[in-house]
Amino acid sequence: MTLTAVILLGAFHGINPAMGWLFAVARGLQERSRDLLLQSLPVIALGHLVSVALVVAVVSATGSLVTATALAIGAGVVLVGFGLWHLLARRHFRWVGMRLSLPQLAAWSFLMSSVHGAGLMLLPVLTRMPASHHGHALSGGMLVAGVHTLAMFLTATVVAVVVYEFLGVAVLRRAWFNLDRMWAFALLGAGVFTLVGAV
């Protein structure tokens, strides 16, 4: 069940245009190059992985110092707060310009994943992992981050290629689903779930 949740969260991030596939499609269309699109996606996934891995490192480092219950409660509060912030915020992080080098694209992905709380969604999984040994907790957490990012990358690649080849970015102006709002509700739900499980 935990592995399924990690994969589904990764797939959700892959579907969400804010996590990078839309940016990759825009870069590909701008240069009329599918190769540029495909080159962008692993770099976006790398930035996402670094953002998630930082959360894993923090959870692993504090696991031996803080009880699992306190950590879970803190994680739940952060998730609920982040979800409310996403629901109520009128402005979202924007990157200026579309012509970025691959290192800049990785930095953009890291910032976007961090701003959107990508790693926070894994806190319910991470706080339930055994923390008896720091090294095992860290390696287990990094495995979770890797599986999550792989699911995100594969999903984003499929979506980006389909949109690039068959739809083009213009279709998004006609039929747009607000995934940011869904993302905010998902953060809230994960936070409530974590808090209920901790008390």
Question: What's the pLDDT tens digit per position in 35-82?
Answer: 999 999 999 999 999 988 888 887 777 654 454 556 567 767 777 787
- Specify the pTM: 0.71
Structural domain count of the chain: 1
Which positions ≥6 away from 131 have C-beta within 8 Å?
60, 63, 64, 68, 137
Q: How far is the C-alpha of 195 from the C-alpha of 139, rounded, in Å?
A: 25
Contact (Cβ atoms closer than 8 angstroms) between residue 113 and residue 19: yes
Domain of 88 in residue numbering reads as: 2-198
Helices (H), the chain: 2-15, 21-31, 34-63, 68-88, 102-115, 123-126, 134-162, 171-174, 179-198
Name the most confidently modeled range: 42-56, 105-119, 128-142. 42-56
Contact (Cβ atoms closer than 8 angstroms) between residue 168 and residue 29: yes
